[in-house]
Every structure is written in C-alpha cells, then in structure tokens.
Amino acid sequence: MHSVVIDKTEPAYQELLGRPIRELGLKLAGSPVERFVEQLYRELEAKGLTKFRPEVYLTDEWGCPSGEPIIGIPFYLASAALAQLEKETHDLEDAREIMMYLRHEAGHAFTYAYKLHNKPEWKQIFGPFRRPYRDNYRPAPFSRDYVRHLPGWYAQKHPDEDFAETFAVWLTPRSNWRKRYRGWAALDKLLYMNRLARQLGKTDPPRRRGQTDITVDEMETTLSEFYHLQRAAQEEVAVSELAPDTDLRDIFAVSKRRKAAVPAQEFLHQHRKAVIDKVAQWTGAQRPLIKNLIDTIEKRVGELELRADKTRVAEHLAEVTAYATALVMTYVTKGKFIQP
C-alpha cells in the first residue's frame, strides 16, 4: 500500500516526496520515455499513417482527453528516480506495457483527429460514441466479437475503447492479426481499420491539435500527496470481509524450520505485479480492487507469520493466482468477496 511503503522510503527520496510535482522540471524531451514515443511514431509511419503524429504530454496518468487528439503519459516515466519510486510503491510499467498503452491511446487520438466517431460506418461497426461510459462494466469473457490487447477484456468497455483496442492490435508490429483473428467477428473491425489507413494515411487530420487536461507543469500536489491521494481513491478491502486465514494457512503450509522457508509476505511482494496482471487480464475486474485484495492478503500473511517454500515457487504462485481470481470473480458477480 502506498502509505506504508512511502513511510519506509530511503532518505534519497524524502526530498523528492516533499516537492510539488510541477517543480521537478520534468520534460518529455530527453527523458527515458521519449524513445517509446519515437517508436510509436515509427510504427505509425510504417503502417502508412504519414500525416498522423499525435502530440504527447506528461500528466498524472495514461489517457487521451475525450475528443482531444493528444496522448497523456504518467509523469513518473520521465525520470529514472521517479520510475524507481513508482516501482517501489506501485506497479511500474515495463517497456512492453508502455508500448501497449501508447498504441491504445493513439487509437483514441486517431478517432478524434479524423472525427471518426461521427461517421455512420464507425457507429455501425463499434456502436454509439455517446453510450454511457461505465467503469464497472461486465464483459463477456472470451467473446470473439472483440480483439484482445489490454487486460480485462477492455475492448468491451465502450465503443471508443473497442476502436482504440482494435487500432492497437492493428498497429502492433508482428501481431499477425489476420491469422490470429481469422474466423472472429473482430476481424471485420481490423479490416475496417486497415481500409481507414489506406484512405486517410496521406490525408491531414481535420484536428491536428487538442486541448490537454492537467499537465505536469500544472500539478501543484507534492509527490507524497499524489501517492496518498491515489491510495485514498482506491476501494478499500476489509480484512474482516475476506476472512482468509484458513485459506492462507492452506496455501502457505510451510514450516518455519524448513531450510527453504522464506516469509510469505516477502514472497508475495516480490511477485505482486505478476499476480495482479494475470488476475486483471482474465477477470476484467478493476485493477485498484485487485491491488487492494493482494495488498490485504500480503499484509495478512505477514501478520500470521506464514512462510513460503523457495523450492515451490510455481506451486505457490499458481495457487495464490487461482485463489485471488476466485475471490475477484465472486466479487464481480455477487458484490462481495466471501458469501455467507
């Protein structure tokens, strides 16, 4: 959890944590994340989109302001020190994930730059852009009507997301989408995207520039406040609601005297991101919910002083991931983790 980890942060970060983000001098140019933006532009060029170069700016999270052909990137990716802090307190995106997010957001920007969401064919294929946007959507797992790119069956969230995910799959080098989606209804969406690229590739977009939401130069909160606010905004998971002690003792039934024994809390923290990624990918549940669940389990195994066995890593991970998935799916369908 953010508040716990930040309190233990080494002194090198303390001065950073107290400063307003806008005073950190963060710039995209020359930053560690700039090369990914350049890679995105090369991929667009390679696909024939020679006139589409969405502006990219640093902000508080990944995003593309609705209707605006620009891409927001989390500010911490522009600094090696901040990226390390994010890794210690949260879930830092790796290179593969950064490109996945960039391609997805570029799909939104492409829609807005060429005003595609107003076109009858776009609406016919993806649905009405004005459909209410619900965070807590209930996807149909394994549906072949949608491509799969971001975890959680994300294309099913909204027509705008459906197009952005389709664009991302189409853009990804070596995605082999024609073969992978052969026989799927989603292939028609990819073929539509391919036609759009031929039609619009050498055409200037009607909207070349867009309006940003908050930029890194406008962020007055301190780093410490940013992480605490993020933590407070997430849905709290009560340990008492989970009542997982018996289950956790079964998963980590390892004697403290065993030579290969390590604290289960340390083991879970080491593999935390991988577990969260997989549960999010296959359940479609909100990531903050899953993070809090894993944080709660991690904290509880520490309080119970449970141990993991270093020689049974795969077994422990499979069991924890399956257990968390079962809890999350119960929550998604029933509104509670544990049914009375």
Torsion of CA 296, 299, 305, 308, to 10 degrees: 70
Specify whether the CB–CB gap between 38 and 78 falls below 8 A: no
The pLDDT of residue 333: 76
Kindly give, in sequence order, each residue whose CB lies less than 8 Å from that of residue 266, ignoring residues fewer than 6 positions away: none
Alpha helices in 117-271 (DSSP H): 120-126, 159-171, 177-180, 186-200, 223-233, 239-242, 245-251, 264-270
E-only strand ranges, 60-187 = 70-74
Token pair for 53: 């170069």
The count of other CB atoms within 10 Å of the CB of residue 249 is 14
Amino acid, res. 141: P
Instruction: Tell me the mean pLDDT per 10 residues along the chain, length 340.
Output: 43 75 94 97 97 95 90 95 82 92 97 95 94 77 93 90 98 97 97 97 91 90 77 52 77 86 90 90 82 87 91 93 90 71
Q: What is the pLDDT of residue 204?
A: 95
Q: What confidence score (pLDDT) does residue 197 get? A: 96
Please state the domain extents for the chain. Answer: 2-200, 236-334
R_g over Cα of the chain: 22
Report the pLDDT value the prediction gives residue 241, as an integer from 0 to 100: 58
Residue 221 confidence (pLDDT): 87
Q: What is the DSSP letter of 63?
A: B
Cross-strand bridge partners of residue 307: 263
What per-residue confidence (pLDDT) applies to 8?
44
What pLDDT is recorded for position 11? 57
CB 5 within 8 A of CB 88: yes
What's the token pair of residue 287? 């990531």
CA terminus-to-terminus distance, the chain: 28
| Torsions phi, psi for 55 (to 5 deg) | -65, 145
Instruction: State pTM to two decimals.
Output: 0.81
CA 100, 58, 269, 10 torsion-angle sign: positive
Which residues are CB-contacts of 138 (< 8 A; sequence separation ≥ 6)?
284, 332
Question: Long-range contacts for 83-88 (Cβ within 8 Å, ≥24 apart)?
Answer: 83/32, 85/9, 85/13, 85/16, 85/223, 88/5, 88/9
